[in-house]
Amino acid sequence: SQKIEQNSEALNIQEGKTATLTCNYTNYSPAYLQWYRQDPGRGPVFLLLIRENEKEKRKERLKVTFDTTLKQSLFHITASQPADSATYLCAPRGASGGSYIPTFGRGTSLIVHP
Amino acid sequence: GAVVSQHPSRVICKSGTSVKIECRSLDFQATTMFWYRQFPKQSLMLMATSNEGSKATYEQGVEKDKFLINHASLTLSTLTVTSAHPEDSSFYICSARHRVDRGGDTQYFGPGTRLTVL
């Protein structure tokens, strides 16, 4: 079955540094991959979508890469701020054949220290 | 962006009562909605997939008679926790699937409902 792996340990970084979060997946060939942000006690919020034919996607201070050979996506936040502290969820989607599996990785908690 | 509302945001009930949670897509039509539950510091656990006008598809281990899902319209899905017990206490989140463009679908989430069963 599909498996999504995200580092379960919290990532602690200093304000202004670049945060890099990793998502690995197995038993799946997604056509695209999404990243979400979840704050405590809230529902996840969609951030970015990257397609399998795109190597990199940027949105303001966010950058996502997608390596279908490694089955990995990296999520970067540059010039991080304390307000970026949250849990970030990875969601590979849209396997060939059209199946949509709405599962998520367990998420990585990011803590940005002032 | 697309907005999904969820009501109530918080509910406390006595053991044995039933609780209904509503999920609405406010500015788009959602043919598919999903229901998740989440325990503290745990991942989102998919409970069921709800398609408008048809029966919900439940994940393995989720009791369909206990968690009743109705998706009567393209903008509304409801989850009813029947005869709730303390172990049903959790954070319930709905999401609606929305086609952003030809490149893929996105799920827009409600703010969640904190259920506490005494």
Q: How far is it, in rounded angstroms, from Cα A91 to Cα A4?
A: 8
Locate the chain A residue with the closest alpha carbon to B2. Answer: A46
Q: Is A40 on the interface with B (CB under 8 A)?
A: no
CB B114 within 8 A of CB B6: no
Q: Is A92 on the interface with B (CB under 8 A)?
A: no
pLDDT value of position B104: 66
pLDDT value of position A99: 65
Q: What is the arithmetic mean of pLDDT over B51-76?
A: 90
Better-predicted residue by pLDDT, A100 or A24: A24
Please compute, for residue B93, the number of CA atoms within 13 A of its CA located in the half-sphere on the CB side. 24
Buried b or exposed e, range A26-37, using 16+ CB within 10 angstroms: eebebbbbbbbb
Q: Is A47 on the interface with B (CB under 8 A)?
A: no
Average pLDDT, chain A: 91
Q: Which residues contact B74 (CB under 8 A, 6 or more apart)?
A: B25, B29, B30, B31, B52
Question: Which of A51, A102, A105 is closest, CB to CB, to B107?
Answer: A102
A96, pLDDT greater than 60 = no
Q: If you ran DSSP here, which 8-state letter would residue B52 be given?
A: T
Q: Which residues in chain A touch residue B112, judged by CB atoms under 8 angstroms apart?
A: 41-43
Range with the poorest average pLDDT among B32-41, B94-103, B108-117: B94-103
Q: What is the arithmetic mean of pLDDT over A39-64?
A: 93
